[in-house]
Amino acid sequence: MERKEFIEKVGLSSASILIFGCMQACSKSDSTPTTNNNSGNQGTNKPVDFTINISVAPYLSLNAPGGFFVESTTGIIIARTLKNEFIAVSAICTHQGVNVEFQANSNRFYCAAHGSAFDASGAVTIGPATTALKQYKTSLSGSNLRVYA
Ligand code: FES
């Protein structure tokens, strides 16, 4: 192989590798995921509307007053209050995005990360969070609980 021919082949191969690498690095599949907008819907624009059967796993915690469940696909926390009412809000704390929990005895949502608390409708009662959790409607029919915007 002549020197000129060798350089042409190596040069072409290197250019191909660089172009291929750049195309992969710039492809859409590598783009940054959508950031969570604290809407309780994990950053999607789809309206929330789903139904769960609280008599089967993994929702059995909702069968007793005081129980709660975080629906991870939507980022919504559903709770059954001690007054036997179902409430649902975004599970994602508006301070820095940690999941909240339901504290039945205080009838509130609480974020253990920095101590923010939210009432049953999602309104801030204790900071540092300053923005309410988005509230969702609930409707129970038999053992089917619908959660919707
Ligand atoms: S992340 Fe919830 S209080 Fe800071």
Burial of residue 73 (number of CB atoms within 10 Å: 0-12, 13-18, 19+): exposed
Q: Is the pLDDT of residue 132 over 80?
A: yes
Q: Is 92 in the pocket of ligand 1 (CB under 6 A)?
A: no
As its CATH architecture, domain 49-148 has 3-layer Sandwich (2.102)
Of residues 6 and 105, the one with the higher pLDDT is 105
Q: Is 98 in the pocket of ligand 1 (CB under 6 A)?
A: yes
Report domain extents, the chain. Answer: 1-31, 49-148
Residue ranges in the chain assigned as alpha helix (H): 3-25
Average pLDDT, stretch 100-111? 98
Average pLDDT, stretch 80-106? 97
Q: Measured in angstroms, how far is the CA atom of residue 38 from the centroid of ligand 1? A: 12
Predicted TM-score of the model (pTM): 0.71
Pull the structure tokens for residue 51. 């139904």
Q: Output the CA–CA distances (angstroms, integers) from residue 114 to 51, 80, 85, in the order listed.
A: 32, 24, 27
pLDDT at 46 (0 to 100): 74
pLDDT at 6 (0 to 100): 47
State which H helix or E strand residue 50 sits in: strand 49-53
State which H helix or E strand residue 125 sits in: strand 124-126
Lowest mean pLDDT among 33-47, 52-66, 107-121, 126-140: 33-47
Q: Is the pLDDT of residue 111 over 60?
A: yes
Of residues 124 and 38, the one with the higher pLDDT is 124
Average pLDDT, stretch 101-109? 98
For 36-69, letters b (16+ CB in 10 Å) and e give: eebbbbbeeeeebeeebebeeeebebbeeebbbb
Average pLDDT, stretch 46-73? 94
pLDDT digits (tens, 9 = 90+) for 38-57: 344 455 567 899 999 999 99
- Mutate which of 38, 92, 116 for ligand 1? The one with the most ligand atoms within 8 Å of its CB, which is 116
Q: Measured in angstroms, how far is the CA atom of residue 73 from the centroid of ligand 1? A: 21
Average pLDDT, stretch 80-85? 96
Pull the structure tokens for residue 104. 């039945």
Pull the structure tokens for residue 95. 């301070």
Q: What is the residue whose two structure tokens read 């005895």?
A: 105
Q: Is 120 in the pocket of ligand 1 (CB under 6 A)?
A: no
Q: Is 128 in the pocket of ligand 1 (CB under 6 A)?
A: yes
pLDDT digits (tens, 9 = 90+) for 13-34: 444 433 333 333 333 333 222 2
